[in-house]
């Protein structure tokens, strides 16, 4: 299974804090360990919300807001995509993430596979999703 | 609470099991004993952790425990001088009363893991035994899981593993990295085993879906690990590239009713772009090493031609023909010739392809291979020779053992018959 690991933003990450050389080498070592174990498929860091935008809608009205956004805990500062054999395994890997800053959190979100939808995923829904995929691929 | 800890123990153990077996094997020089010791460490953890709590560094704890057990075992078995010398060396490394768990984890375990892969895939073992032993020792799969994935009875698989371990002990296969000139042959055996595991999952025509999918994942995981352990081997990256690109199509290769969809008919928006990107990168890595490309790199390059084409019409068939010709030189086989004929049929038209297929008609290795009449039927259909085409599809339907494929072929028989001018 694949798990997306969402790294939650912190006041430091929002302030565009650059990690020290030591922190950076710790993180590099951890990433290397993930690669060596065949776990890491992908991963990137994200700009602070000051460089970002949000598009929201409500009752048919679309609003575009430029960052920064205030609620740091609800923001994402980076992500990994891990290939693991269970969510438990992802938890164990996540416990080994070097702690940057005093407080921090990651959220482990299994990526949906088509089969996860089970019976509710009718051929009709599937077909509609296929249509959407086709259009977005263009 | 205890169940939670049990799950943690089992998860961590499974994540580390290959390394544990590898480290124990370096000390005991016997993979059978090493596996037993890794299992012992699991039992010890299951006893201790619920009482004493989960250690700060559970992986290091397991590794330290396994090494101590291994040294104990060697110490008990010492019967002659040479072993004693070996023991003295090991003792020097592990003489601290307070073992340094960090150091235990930082040991250059990579080489041990590579040795373990090479020994599990040793050519002295049959292909079946190599596959089972690799899944057991490197994947940490239980006998039951392996049996389910391969639709075999559990005792059969258990027997196979026991015999394999015995053979390795009897033949006194050393726990060492092979050197030139043996290396090339040993490495190709490793790649073959990983690709066999992948194909068993990929070509799944029956069996429990879940376990089959796991086999593809497991083969990819082993390939990715091997690529980091032996980064200088172009064929390792070639194999990884091939598997990544093939796996990228898993979602698109069956339709909603579970029937196979041919490559050119697949909805390419369902191809997994992340895996394609990874596959192309691995291929680049392989190619960048120079030298004549091997069979895996060439097959990956062919798969990459399809992956790069956003629509079936954009496929670079001329390049594919060229690559098949090179593949036929490096790894000649009638199946490669048949695939080359298909590519020629696309690049230069059905008549040219048919000419090449006809030359394979008497090939004994293909006499029971359903794709030969299937390809011939395809080319005949495109030439408008519907009656001949329907006969070929019928032949193919009789030869295939895959029920879904058979249905598809029978439909093509009907479609061709419908177009025969009366």
What is the nearest CA distance from B89 to chain A, expressed in angstroms? 28
Residues 6+ apart with CB under 8 A from B206: B151
pLDDT band at B92 (very low <50, low <70, confident <90, very high): low
CB contact under 8 A, A133 and B220: no
* The pLDDT of residue A123: 53
CA dihedral B179→B184→B186→B191, nearest 10 degrees, is 140
Residue B152, pLDDT above cutoff 90: no
**B169-176: long-range pairs with CB below 8 Å, 24+:** B169/B30, B169/B32, B171/B124, B173/B119, B173/B122, B173/B124, B174/B29, B175/B25, B175/B26, B175/B29, B175/B30, B175/B31, B175/B115, B175/B116, B175/B119, B176/B115
Measured between CB atoms, does B108 come within 8 Å of chain A? no
Average pLDDT over residues B149-156: 86
What is the nearest CA distance from B333 to chain A, expressed in angstroms? 32
* The pLDDT of residue B106: 45
**B222-225: long-range pairs with CB below 8 Å, 24+:** B222/A38, B222/B117, B222/B134, B222/B138, B222/B139, B222/B194, B222/B197, B223/A38, B223/B194, B223/B198, B224/A35, B224/A38, B225/A36, B225/A37, B225/A38, B225/B113
Residue B97, pLDDT above cutoff 50: no
Percent of chain B at pLDDT above 90? Answer: 71
**B212-218: long-range pairs with CB below 8 Å, 24+:** B212/B149, B213/B250, B214/A85, B214/B145, B214/B149, B215/B149, B216/B243, B216/B247, B216/B250, B217/A83, B217/A85, B218/B135, B218/B139, B218/B141
Average pLDDT over residues B159-166: 95
Distance CA B313, CA B303 (A): 15
Residue A100, pLDDT above cutoff 90: no
Cβ–Cβ pairs < 8 A, chains A and B: 55
CB contact under 8 A, A88 and B7: yes
Measured between CB atoms, does B274 come within 8 Å of chain A? yes
* The pLDDT of residue B99: 41
pLDDT band at B320 (very low <50, low <70, confident <90, very high): very high
What is the nearest CA distance from A52 to chain B, expressed in angstroms? 24
Lowest mean pLDDT among A39-43, B184-188, B221-225, B251-255: B251-255
* The pLDDT of residue A116: 53
Residue B183, pLDDT above cutoff 60: yes
Max mean pLDDT range (A8-12, A17-21, B81-85): A8-12
β-strand partners of B174: none
pLDDT band at B26 (very low <50, low <70, confident <90, very high): very high
* The pLDDT of residue B148: 82
* The pLDDT of residue B96: 42
Average pLDDT over residues B20-28: 94
Lowest mean pLDDT among B12-21, B380-389, B404-413: B404-413
Residue A30, pLDDT above cutoff 50: yes
CB contact under 8 A, B274 and A41: yes
β-strand partners of A63: A56
How far from each other are the two terminal CA atoms of chain A, in whole angstroms?
Answer: 28
Burial class from Cβ neighbours inside 10 Å (0-12, 13-18, 19+) for residue B55 reads middle
Is-contact B201 B213, C-beta < 8 A? yes
β-strand partners of B151: none
Lowest mean pLDDT among A76-90, B207-221, B272-286, B351-365: B207-221
Is-contact B137 B117, C-beta < 8 A? no
More confident residue, A68 or B212: A68
Average pLDDT of chain B to the nearest whole number: 89
Residue B338, pLDDT above cutoff 80: yes
Q: Are strands A61-66 and A76-83 parallel, antiparallel or unpaired?
A: unpaired
Is-contact B148 B208, C-beta < 8 A? yes
Residue B377, pLDDT above cutoff 80: yes
Measured between CB atoms, does B11 come within 8 Å of chain A? yes
CB contact under 8 A, A130 and B15: no
CB contact under 8 A, B225 and A37: yes
Average pLDDT of chain A to the nearest whole number: 86
Average pLDDT over residues B33-39: 95
What is the nearest CA distance from B317 to chain A, expressed in angstroms? 23
More confident residue, A116 or A4: A4
Distance CA A9, CA A26 (A): 19
Chosen from B11, B61, B240 to mutate, greatest number of chain A CBs within 10 A: B11
Of B11, B214, B269, the CB nearest to A133: B269
The pLDDT tens digits for B204-222 are 644 445 456 788 999 999 9
Chosen from A4, A35, A38 to mutate, greatest number of chain B CBs within 10 A: A38
* The pLDDT of residue B104: 40
Is-contact B187 B235, C-beta < 8 A? yes
- Residues of B in Cβ contact (< 8 Å) with A82: none
Q: What crossing angle do the helices spanning B2-28 and A87-95 adopt, rounded to 10°?
A: 70
Percent of chain A at pLDDT above 70? Answer: 82
* The pLDDT of residue B202: 80
């Amino acid at each position: 299974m694949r798990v997306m690991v969402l790294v939650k933003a912190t006041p430091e990450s929002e302030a565009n804090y650059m990690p020290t050389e030591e922190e950076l080498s710790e993180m590099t070592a951890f990433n290397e360990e993930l690669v060596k174990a065949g776990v890491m498929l992908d991963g990137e860091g994200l700009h602070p919300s000051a460089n970002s935008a949000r598009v929201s809608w409500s009752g048919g009205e679309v609003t575009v807001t430029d960052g920064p956004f205030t609620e740091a805990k609800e923001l994402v500062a980076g992500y990994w995509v891990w290939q693991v054999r269970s969510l438990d395994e992802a938890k164990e890997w996540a416990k080994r993430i070097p702690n940057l800053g005093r407080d921090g959190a990651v959220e482990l979100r299994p990526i949906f596979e088509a089969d996860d939808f089970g019976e509710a995923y009718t051929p009709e829904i599937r077909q509609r999703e296929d249509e959407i995929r086709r259009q977005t691929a263009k | 609470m205890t169940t939670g800890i049990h799950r943690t123990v089992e998860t961590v153990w499974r994540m580390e099991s290959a390394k544990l077996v590898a480290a124990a094997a370096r000390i005991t020089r016997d993979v059978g004993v090493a596996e037993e010791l890794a299992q012992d460490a699991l039992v010890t953890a299951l006893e201790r952790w619920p009482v004493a709590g989960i250690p700060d560094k559970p992986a290091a704890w397991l590794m330290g425990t396994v090494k101590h057990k291994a040294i104990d075992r060697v110490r008990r078995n010492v019967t002659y001088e040479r072993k004693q010398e070996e023991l003295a060396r090991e003792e020097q490394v592990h003489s601290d009363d307070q073992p340094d768990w960090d150091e235990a984890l930082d040991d250059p375990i990579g080489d041990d893991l590579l040795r373990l892969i090479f020994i599990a895939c040793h050519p002295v073992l049959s292909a079946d035994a190599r596959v089972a032993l690799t899944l057991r020792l490197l994947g940490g799969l239980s006998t039951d899981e392996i049996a389910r994935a391969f639709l075999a009875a559990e005792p059969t698989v258990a027997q196979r593993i026991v015999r394999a371990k015995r053979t390795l002990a009897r033949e006194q296969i050393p726990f060492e990295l092979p050197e030139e000139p043996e290396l090339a042959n040993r490495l190709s055996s490793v790649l073959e085993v990983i690709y066999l595991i992948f194909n068993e999952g990929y070509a799944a025509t029956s069996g429990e879906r879940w376990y089959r999918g796991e086999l593809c994942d497991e083969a990819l995981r082993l390939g990715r690990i091997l690529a980091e352990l032996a980064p200088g081997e172009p064929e390792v990256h070639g194999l990884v590239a091939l598997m990544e690109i093939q796996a990228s199509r898993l979602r698109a290769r069956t339709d909603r009713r579970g029937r196979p969809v041919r490559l050119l008919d697949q909805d390419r928006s369902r191809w997994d772009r992340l895996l394609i990107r990874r596959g192309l990168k691995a291929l680049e890595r392989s190619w960048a090493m120079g030298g004549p490309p091997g069979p895996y790199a060439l097959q990956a390059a062919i798969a990459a031609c399809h992956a790069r084409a956003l629509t079936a019409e954009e496929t670079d068939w001329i390049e594919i023909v060229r690559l098949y010709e090179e593949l036929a030189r490096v790894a000649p086989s009638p199946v490669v010739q048949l695939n080359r004929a298909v590519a020629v049929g696309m690049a230069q038209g059905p008549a040219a392809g048919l000419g090449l297929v006809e030359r394979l008609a008497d090939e004994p290795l293909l006499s029971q291979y359903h794709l030969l009449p299937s390809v011939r039927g395809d080319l005949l259909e495109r030439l408008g020779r519907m009656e001949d085409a329907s006969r070929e599809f019928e032949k193919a339907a009789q030869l295939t053992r895959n029920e879904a494929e058979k249905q598809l072929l029978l439909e093509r028989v009907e479609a061709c018959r419908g177009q025969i001018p009366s």
